[in-house]
């Protein structure tokens, strides 16, 4: 009868170790049932579950491995595994797999402790922990983004409570935590659609125009209530627009010139383009400013409201259909169909209540620095970092995105 043995090796990493170890096993017709390796600061942890056929007793295999690993100054541990233990473990691999992404300016032990405590409380077991971001500097306290990804397995009894628990500790520790199923689409997204105001740019353009028109406080109050979900977007939009009547057309260029892009926006868009993604702006703002961003960032699609101008003056109206929350969701589906991709391959990013319909239609909907109502309603949120943190939600390592930019000549 064959024997099952779990072998754990640790010590300083060096090239050729895997070849040497498996080469010895190969002499005895050993079958590999599972294998994994991690290297942290040049220190190797290597595990392999093997089946030794009846014709090859375990003693010679273990003897030869012990001699060689001792010569390589590596520590090794052998543990026999019963068939029942193996079958129970193999069955567990069929359980649902999820990804928990921890994003912060700097990863602290308490953050990992609390995240892992929640996964355990909800019956999830951690399979792997991987750092996706670059290693932090020891000479500088400034870390742009730090990201650790947990691969967990199991079936939580209450997914909504699990998400609520993560949202709670994220607010307490000033970090972002995403929880998503590890599906075939996670690293196969093809389209990212963005809201513009307070998402790609740090301002609400209509508020900036209102300042120029001398009605800044009135419009800002209505904008805030609309973004909080207290007012119907289309109605509030019409009210704010009417207050801009008579504004000189020349103001638009001046406002566009001072708009500041959100942290991480340029890096995210450049990375997405280098990786072959399509991008779109779906905005309840104005086409003039969306086109300005399109030219600057190379966005593929733009849909926003066309500000009506007559004789060089803003009329207080827009031409054509208003791009509200419902229209954003429709446009997301139209673009996906045009690009011949499924909804599961779409990422949507926005901050206001009028973004919730498109966030719910996307495979990955991200509430970015969002109002409380939106943050609680969306499945994923980024509140403490820049837009380029989204790259980690789709599983890309910093080295991969940097290489992608280099290959694309960016």
Active site residues: 195, 197
Residue 76's DSSP bridge partners are 9
Which of 132, 189, 185, 179 minimizes the C-alpha distance to 152? 179
Q: What is the spatial distance between Cα 41 and Cα 12, in angstroms, rounded to a whole number?
A: 9
Please check whether residue 364 is in contact with residue 180, taking contact to mean a CB–CB distance below 8 angstroms.
yes
94 alpha carbon, distance to own chain's centre: 25
Please check whether residue 389 is in contact with residue 132, taking contact to mean a CB–CB distance below 8 angstroms.
no
Rg (CA), the chain: 27
Q: What is the spatial distance between Cα 257 and Cα 34, in angstroms, rounded to a whole number?
A: 57
The angle subtended at Cα 335 by Cα 329 and Cα 341, nearest 5°, is: 105
Residue 131's DSSP bridge partners are 148
Q: How many residues does the chain have?
A: 410
Residue 180's DSSP bridge partners are 99
Please check whether residue 6 is in contact with residue 79, taking contact to mean a CB–CB distance below 8 angstroms.
yes
CA-based diameter of the chain, in Å? 93
324 alpha carbon, distance to own chain's centre: 25
Please check whether residue 282 is in contact with residue 194, taking contact to mean a CB–CB distance below 8 angstroms.
yes
DSSP string over 113-133: HHHHHHHHHTT-EEEEEEE-S
User: Which pairing describes strands 75-81 and 3-12: parallel, antiparallel, or unpaired?
Assistant: antiparallel
Q: What is the spatial distance between Cα 239 and Cα 187, in angstroms, rounded to a whole number?
A: 42
Half-sphere exposure of 323 (CA within 13 A, CB side): 22
């Amino acid at each position: 009868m064959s024997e099952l043995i779990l072998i754990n090796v640790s010590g300083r990493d060096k090239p050729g170790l895997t070849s040497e170890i498996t080469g010895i096993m190969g002499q005895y017709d050993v079958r590999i049932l599972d294998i994994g390796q991690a290297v942290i600061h040049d220190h190797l942890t290597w595990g392999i579950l093997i089946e030794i056929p009846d014709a090859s007793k375990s003693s010679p295999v273990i003897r030869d491995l012990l001699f060689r690993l001792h010569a390589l100054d590596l520590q090794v541990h052998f543990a026999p595994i019963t068939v029942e233990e193996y079958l129970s473990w193999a069955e567990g691999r069929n359980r649902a797999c999820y990804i928990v992404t921890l994003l912060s300016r700097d990863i602290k032990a308490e953050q990992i402790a609390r995240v892992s405590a929640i996964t355990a409380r909800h019956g999830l077991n951690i399979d792997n922990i991987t750092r996706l971001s670059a290693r932090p500097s020891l000479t500088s306290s400034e870390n742009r983004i730090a990201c650790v990804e947990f691969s967990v397995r199991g079936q939580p009894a209450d997914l909504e409570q699990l998400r609520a628990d993560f949202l709670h500790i994220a607010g307490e520790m000033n970090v972002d935590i995403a929880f998503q199923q590890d599906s075939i689409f996670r690293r196969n997204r093809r389209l990212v659609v963005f809201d513009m105001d307070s998402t790609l740019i740090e301002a609400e353009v209509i508020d900036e125009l209102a300042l120029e028109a001398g009605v800044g406080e009135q419009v800002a109050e209505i904008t805030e209530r609309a973004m909080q979900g207290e007012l119907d977007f289309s109605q509030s939009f019409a009210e704010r627009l009417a207050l801009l009547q008579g504004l000189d057309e020349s103001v638009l260029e001046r406002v566009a010139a001072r708009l500041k892009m959100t942290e991480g926006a340029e890096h995210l868009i450049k990375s997405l383009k280098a990786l072959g993604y399509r991008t779109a702006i779906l905005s309840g703002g104005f086409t003039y400013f969306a086109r300005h961003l399109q030219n600057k960032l190379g966005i593929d699609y733009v849909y926003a409201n066309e500000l009506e101008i007559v004789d060089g003056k803003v009329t207080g109206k827009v031409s054509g259909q208003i791009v509200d929350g419902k229209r954003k969701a429709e446009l997301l589906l139209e673009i996906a169909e045009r690009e011949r991709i499924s909804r599961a391959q779409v990422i949507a990013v926005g901050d206001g209540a009028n973004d919730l319909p498109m966030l719910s239609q996307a495979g990955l909907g991200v509430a970015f620095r969002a109002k409380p109502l939106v943050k609680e309603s969306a499945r994923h949120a980024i509140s403490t970092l820049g837009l380029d943190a989204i790259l980690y939600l789709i599983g890309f390592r910093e080295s991969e995105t940097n290489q992608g930019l280099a290959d694309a000549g960016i």
